Amino acid sequence: MTGPLQHVITSCTSQTSYSGGTEDMGAGTPATAVRRGRRRASGALECEVLAALRRAGTPLTPREVQRELPGALTYCTVVIILRRLHGKRVLTRTPRGRAYAYAAV
């Protein structure tokens, strides 16, 4: 398997922890990017979202994905990650009410 799907799957299996960062990320840093003074590893949030969708087994809206994820992620952050994964053709989406429901390919 090659292409964007293989890249995301490969990076999800190789990244399971947070990378070290400075204790003070500075003013203006989004709260969702910092956890106890550490920043998520590149692609870690995408992996968490993809794993939540796979666990669910059915398409989920951004709000439902947000509830499935640990930590305090904003709705907008979840939507951005879902849109990026959809753009990489890792997710499919179908209209559900005023939102889209996303599912892993």
Q: pLDDT tens digits for 55-98?
A: 999 999 999 999 999 888 999 999 999 999 999 999 999 999 99
Determine the pLDDT at residue 75: 96
> What tens digit of pLDDT does each residue of 47-56 get?
999 999 999 9
Q: Can you tell me the distance from the alpha carbon of 96 to that of 51, in angstroms, rounded to the nearest whole number? A: 21
Residue 17 pLDDT more than 70? no
Residue 26 pLDDT more than 80? no
**Beta strand 34-35 pairing with 38-39:** antiparallel
pTM (two decimals): 0.68
The structural domains of the chain, with segments of one domain joined by +, span 4-19+34-104
Please name the residues in contact with 14: beta carbons below 8 A apart, sequence gap of 6 or more.
Answer: none
Q: Can you tell me the distance from the alpha carbon of 53 to that of 3, in angstroms, rounded to the nearest whole number? A: 20
**DSSP code at position 89:** T
CATH class of this structure's domain 4-19+34-104: mainly alpha
